């Protein structure tokens, strides 16, 4: 198990990127089952720093990081969750846009 985390500056940069994406997507969370699966994966990962429950790869608190649908494991052990496929449902686009995509003649 690694006890070393990335530099403070790298952790801030990674966290800022995650926060911006999370906010842009409407702050979606994963389902409880998806969350448990992510935490199970982290619990067996050699990069987890168990004492602080931080990821040794990105420095994030895994119990928080795993809740956000827009985050992914930096070692590709669990992916982002596609919005609307199990996480919080959010509305993409406007009603006008949806009517165009459902009606091919609408764009003619």
**57 touches ligand SF4 by CB under 6 A:** yes
Q: Which of residues 76-105 bind ligand SF4 (CB under 6 A)?
A: 77
Q: Which is nearer to ligand SF4, 28 or 60 (CB)?
A: 60
Element holding 55 (H helix, E strand): strand 54-55
**30 touches ligand SF4 by CB under 6 A:** no
Residue 98 burial (CB count, 10 A):
13
Q: Which is nearer to ligand SF4, 13 or 100 (CB)?
A: 13
Q: How far is the CB of 108 from ligand SF4 (least distance, A)?
A: 48
Handedness of CA 26, 32, 33, 34 (dihedral sign): positive
How many helices (H) and strands (E) in the chain?
4, 2
């Amino acid at each position: 198990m690694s006890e070393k985390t990335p530099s403070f500056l790298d952790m801030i940069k990674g966290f800022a990127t995650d926060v911006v994406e999370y906010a842009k997507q409407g702050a979606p969370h994963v389902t409880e089952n998806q969350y448990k699966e992510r935490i199970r994966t982290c619990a067996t990962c050699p990069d987890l720093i168990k004492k602080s429950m931080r990821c040794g790869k990105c420095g994030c608190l895994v119990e928080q990081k795993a809740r956000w649908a827009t985050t992914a494991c930096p070692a590709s052990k669990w992916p982002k969750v596609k919005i609307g496929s199990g996480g919080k449902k959010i509305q993409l686009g406007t009603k006008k846009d949806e009517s165009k995509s459902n009606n091919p003649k609408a764009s003619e």
